[in-house]
Structure 1
């Protein structure tokens, strides 16, 4: 994808750190299933305990179907995608990691710039959840 006017560099805190995704920002422009406060918390995505590979394949397809997304990495139960707004090129980072012991996929969706995202990241996670449930998430 071409960088837009408001594209910004990829954050260096992405990925897993001691088995966890980076914390949600203090600003209201992101959500995480690992957040401890209600403002940033979003429920993790459901997944059968023995089905990480299948869940990640489905999530990869769902993210690609949402449009304006670029899969940056997808391996070993972790997926990172960048969503770009069409006109100005703002970037949101979406990370998903399988936790087979908990039977869920933890998710984090955060805007790189700005203070408020007007609920866009929460809406995106809920859209992914709805599509995942529509695909069925059994192996």
Structure 2
């Protein structure tokens, strides 16, 4: 019985040591970056999620539609959302963002990448482990959390300058119609009412 307990203890220690070493190895990697303007595809392992490729059903979730929100505000929302979910920004260039997330126990590092597509008005997300096979759903949960946060914030974000310009032009048109058509009749009616009251 004593030898069995020793073997179990040695096995547990070996597993812990292996996990610690894997955590250290994960610190030396980097995010894959963009490939032909898009986020990289996921590997066969389940420890990755990405919004770019709907045909890859096992690794796919829908991207975020940011609609008419101002692009500068969208970039700011991405930075704030990554920070709020525990990420550390490591790279930002134009509409591409890369951040890392680290587990508390063994220090496993995961890469989160975000790409803004100004053509489709969408925010794409990729979250993946640098090492190992299974992540127990951590990357999918993280991507969904970020997506939900961005969806909420983008609905509250200021709209694009072009839409503001259209609304301002519409207001100016209504003002012109009022000053040319309605205002003269109103002044005439008001002056007529005054004479009648006298």
Q: TM-score, normalised by structure 2?
A: 0.62
What does residue 189 of structure 2 align with?
none
What does residue 83 of structure 2 align with?
64
What does residue 49 of structure 2 align with?
31
Runs of 4 or more consecutive aligned structure 1 residues displaced over 3 Å after TM superposition: none
Farther off after superposition, 92-101 or 49-58: 49-58
SS in 2 for 1:115: coil
Structure 1 residue 108 displacement after superposition: 0.6
Listed as ranges, the matches of 1:12-31 within 5 Å are 14-31=32-49
Structure 1 residue 112 displacement after superposition: 0.7
Q: CA RMSD, aligned part only?
A: 1.8
Question: Aligned equivalents of 1:88 and 1:22: distance in 2?
Answer: 26
Q: Using CA pairs below 8 Å that are at least 6 residues apart, which structure has the higher relative contact order?
A: 1
Structure 1 residue 124 displacement after superposition: 0.6
What does residue 110 of structure 1 align with?
128
Q: Which runs of 5+ in 1 are unaligned?
A: none
Alignment: residue pair count: 134
What does residue 46 of structure 1 align with?
65
Contact 1:51 1:100 in 2 (8 A): no
Contact 1:48 1:100 in 2 (8 A): no
Contact 2:111 2:127 in 1 (8 A): yes
Structure 1 residue 49 displacement after superposition: 5.4
Does the C-alpha gap of structure 1 residues 10 and 49 become closer, same or farther in structure 2, counting only changes over 3 Å?
farther
Structure 1 residue 134 displacement after superposition: 2.9
Q: Which runs of 5+ in 2 are unaligned?
A: 1-19, 159-198
Contact 2:74 2:154 in 1 (8 A): no
What does residue 99 of structure 1 align with?
117
Question: Aligned equivalents of 1:17 and 1:87: distance in 2?
Answer: 32
More strand by share: 1
More helix by share: 2
Structure possessing the higher radius of gyration over alpha carbons? 2
Q: TM-score, normalised by structure 1?
A: 0.86
